[in-house]
Structure 1
């Protein structure tokens, strides 16, 4: 063996071999039970009349010839091995697998979507055709949901009041279905931003109390207007979110009061909608989140891409070594040996 081979052999410690262990090793104490049974239990003696055979000498010679094969030793040895393998299987051998580092979800993510009357303004473009704001927001949010595998996601909508449509869940398909079924005016025509934040904080806090406090709780709020309804002031709601360790990202969504028709910019009836950017920015800053402004669908998609980077889905969990059950191997071997023993005994009798 040259020096390079010796160095390779030295670099492979014994730990690289499969590590086996017995969960219930006391089952190995049952190995000598058959011997104890033969030793302690007396042989059965027959009281029937003996048969007298006139040619006993010839019978003993036949027995000597057959003794060369030592009948019974083969089947008996197989049965002993089968018993030993059964004891090993009962001891439940396990093998430690390769170290793995499973992902660990670290966020409860609540989406809050404005369904006030202004969300039906057709000043957005999607796939080259004009659409209303809600349709554009649904398309972007659906794509955002596809990238949140592993997080618990919930959905609430708000207008005059705030309503939770989907609780925090790992079933993103149900959240997507509730999102697609949302329509303008479902929660009223006005805008209750403060109530939406308060309801989101309540749901995030309840989920944490029932399942252990998560590492991060996040609210993403999308609106195109000003707080005009509700009982809770948005800035007070931001303080409540901050005290509950909920980070709020706010997205102001809406055009500048123009609509694109065949490449021409035409003013919308009534002009653009007013958006309280100052309040939305203050909410995000108070809770450690970010404020975003989107005037079209492309900007909105870019904002959710940025949020996706700010709030990564998974982080590495603790390193684990899975335990692989190996009792099936000795159990199967014991069954095979038992069957072979029976076959061999029958062949010898024939």
Structure 2
């Protein structure tokens, strides 16, 4: 159906009719002979006199009606669309510390760094979260809210793809990331508050320790699912040949396991892209949020149709009345 944002403007439509019906002012002075300017040819005057005098008034009136119609903002109100009534409230905290540049991850048969692998696998996960409200936190020396809670999965994924190493420092502020998530979750009372924490190291920066942040998370009933990223073995080349090293020696699995266990969550270790797929299995088992049934009706603006028609009619009319003059020249 068609609705109007400003329907009261339609009251302006009869204005030309009211002006037409206004009483004409009588001319008390004696009528004088019409003085014809020398710049106007008499033949042209004869042509104008033969034109229907009501036609220009009809054109102007039609343009006025179309303009008023456009100003009233006509809109097409579409059919009702159900908004998903079940979903999850999830904050995703991603580590951007310097160690995330270590190239020890396997993705589609290629060796890539940890952040590149995370972007691909986590990006696919975000796209699948239809009906979920997601937020994105990036942390390094400090924690920053990159994307607040939203149903717009495309924006969350874009912000993740645009993140770069060193954007928020080279260290790892795990405690600050958890505390920031707690603060953002606090505004919404009824939700299954889930924090997905992805890191490859230990807490080396920040104003709040992981233990202090854990107390805040428990008090606010936030479930933490921690993901430890990094391979167990990596071949490192040197002047003395190759050697096997553990690139994840600084991963604090003990603290991450504690964070998950004491909040009712779970700790996972992602050694490659296949390990990250466990996130999907876990989150599919989470209970969705029960929300009130909501509907929305999409609105499509239609004002440009009457406005464009008014411009077209006025342009054609101006060309029509000036065409004889242009042809003479």
Name the TM-score class by shorter chain: 0.5 to 0.7
2:30 partner SS? coil
1:287 partner SS? coil
In structure 1, which of residues 332, 335, 338 is the aligned counterpart of residue 308 of structure 2? 332
Q: Distance in 2 between matches of 1:127 and 1:337?
A: 61
How far the C-alpha of 1:77 sits from its partner, in A, is 3.2
Aligned length: 287
1:187 aligns with 2:162: no
In structure 2, which of residues 296, 302, 315 is the aligned counterpart of residue 320 of structure 1? 296
In structure 2, which of residues 142, 158, 180 is the aligned counterpart of residue 164 of structure 1? 142
Which structure's CA Rg is the greater one? Answer: 1
2:52 partner SS? coil
Deviations 1:14-72 (CA, angstroms, capped at 9, x unpaired): xxxxx112333333333333333233342463634348xxxxxxxxxxx9xxx9x8832
Q: Once superposed, what is the RMSD of the aligned Cα atoms?
A: 5.3
Where in structure 1 are there 5+ consecutive unaligned residues?
1-18, 52-62, 158-162, 189-194
Q: Distance in 2 between matches of 1:186 and 1:305?
A: 29
Deviations 1:133-170 (CA, angstroms, capped at 9, x unpaired): xx65334322234233684322224xxxxx22653335
Where in structure 2 are there 5+ consecutive unaligned residues?
35-45, 128-132, 148-154, 237-241, 325-329
How far the C-alpha of 1:96 sits from its partner, in A, is 0.9
1:40 aligns with 2:22: yes
Which residue does 1:142 correspond to in 2? 119
TM-score relative to the length of structure 2: 0.61
Which residue does 2:94 correspond to in 1? 111
How far the C-alpha of 1:202 sits from its partner, in A, is 2.0
Deviations 1:77-126 (CA, angstroms, capped at 9, x unpaired): 3333333333333333221134445789943311247878xx97x98767
Deviations 1:300-337 (CA, angstroms, capped at 9, x unpaired): 33334445646799x99943222222222223333444
TM-score relative to the length of structure 1: 0.58
Q: Distance in 2 between matches of 1:34 and 1:128?
A: 75
How far the C-alpha of 1:248 sits from its partner, in A, is 1.4
Query: Quick check: 71-80 or 302-311, which moved more?
Result: 302-311
1:152 aligns with 2:172: no
Q: Distance in 2 between matches of 1:233 and 1:347?
A: 82
In structure 2, which of residues 32, 41, 47 is the aligned counterpart of residue 49 of structure 1? 32
Structure 1 segment 175-254 matched on structure 2, within 5 A: 180-181=165-166, 186-187=170-171, 196=174, 198-208=175-185, 212-213=187-188, 215=191, 216-223=193-200, 237-252=213-228
Q: Distance in 2 between matches of 1:224 and 1:231?
A: 17
